[in-house]
Amino acid sequence: MSALTTSVEATSAPRRDRIVWALPIAFGMVVVGLWQYLSHHGSVDPFYFSRPSAIAARVQDWLTSGFLYRHLSVTLREAFCAFVLGAVAGLAAGLLLARLPWLDWMIGPYLRMANAVPRIVLAPIFVLWFGLGMASKVALGVTLVFFVVFFNTYQGVRDVDPAVLDNARLLGASERQLARNVLLPSALSWIFSSLHVSVGLALIGAVIGEYLGSTEGIGYVIAQGEGLFDTTAVFAGMAVLMVVVLVVDHLVSRLERRLLRWKPPSADTRGRR
């Protein structure tokens, strides 16, 4: 009976994977096709919304001329640095405050107040402090990534079963061993949940920084397009960013599946895989 069940699951897995991929692709094609149809027949003004065909042609032109690679590489470098620095800092802070109550009582309220500050307010301040270069964009991205990773790590570590910690201590585990072998593995689901969000936030921080003051990057391209009332360039820049986030999020998902192989998959996870 178990062998039959395994065979049925193995047979249905490829079909399920095809459905998982086909549904969003079909939905996207319908939306793009409707947009193209309405803009072509005048129901949607192309001056304000452009056309999918014009956007695709602009992206292709950027690719063939090398224009896109130069600006996209700048944005990706800034987003990568912001993502790594913010994630590492948020992970360390979340672990420390979850394990040290006195530190949580002393610093926790200030972190929560800092999280309430709108990041857009910080962008001009970072430009004044760090200039128009890469540092101001990275700083803004770090403020976006840090708090998401921090709160998820904090909650994930706090949710670890106390009985598991007590058993590990009875076996002679030190605090470092507890953090490495019990706390972090137990909180990985929380941490990866925050990393999926942080990928987009890191790019948002880089693009906003470039939008407010820069001479290169996708944010600069979008700002130039808005200044020239070139909605095709604006939508093309946003389309490139969406594709990049989708690719990076897929890589994070693959890393998550690799690191969480020991954990029994939920029904939702099995459906996505």
Rounded average pLDDT over 88-114: 89
Q: Kindly state the percentage of the chain with pLDDT values over 90.
A: 26
DSSP 215: S
- Characterise 51 by phi-psi region: left (phi > 0), alpha (psi -120 to 50), beta (else): beta
Say whether pLDDT at 2 is over 60: no
60 lies in some domain: no
133 lies in some domain: yes
Say whether pLDDT at 264 is over 70: no
Estimate the share of the chain in helix, then strand, then coil, as percent rounded to the nearest 5: 85, 0, 15
Higher pLDDT, 39 or 176: 39
Say whether pLDDT at 71 is over 70: yes
16 lies in some domain: no
> What pLDDT, on a 0 to 100 scale, did the predictor assign at position 6?
47
Say whether pLDDT at 167 is over 70: yes
Q: Which residues fall within 8 angstroms of residue 173, CB to CB, at 6 or more apart?
A: 181, 182
> What pLDDT, on a 0 to 100 scale, did the predictor assign at position 266?
53
> What pLDDT, on a 0 to 100 scale, did the predictor assign at position 263?
62
43 lies in some domain: no
**Rg of the chain (C-alpha set):** 23
What b/e sequence results for 83-103 when a residue is b if at least 16 CB atoms lie within 10 Å of its CB, and e otherwise?
bebbbeebbebbbbbbbeeee
- Characterise 42 by phi-psi region: left (phi > 0), alpha (psi -120 to 50), beta (else): left
Rounded average pLDDT over 212-222: 88
CB 203: neighbour CB atoms within 10 A? Answer: 26
10 lies in some domain: no
Higher pLDDT, 170 or 70: 70
Q: How far apart are CA 237 and CA 235, in angstroms?
A: 5
Tokens of 202: 């890191």
Give 261's pLDDT tier (boundaries 50, 70, 90): low
Question: Which stretches of 37-162 are assigned E, i.e. beta strand?
Answer: none
Tally of domains within the chain: 1
CB 179: neighbour CB atoms within 10 A? Answer: 17
Say whether pLDDT at 110 is over 60: yes
129 lies in some domain: yes
Give 189's pLDDT tier (boundaries 50, 70, 90): confident
Give 57's pLDDT tier (boundaries 50, 70, 90): very high
Q: Which residue has the tokens 């956007």?
A: 55
> What pLDDT, on a 0 to 100 scale, did the predictor assign at position 18?
66
Q: Kindly state the percentage of the chain with pLDDT values over 70.
A: 84
Range of the domain at 191: 67-272
113 lies in some domain: yes
CATH code for the domain in which residue 91 is found? 1.10.3720.10
6 lies in some domain: no
Give 4's pLDDT tier (boundaries 50, 70, 90): very low
Q: What is the mean pLDDT of the chain?
A: 82
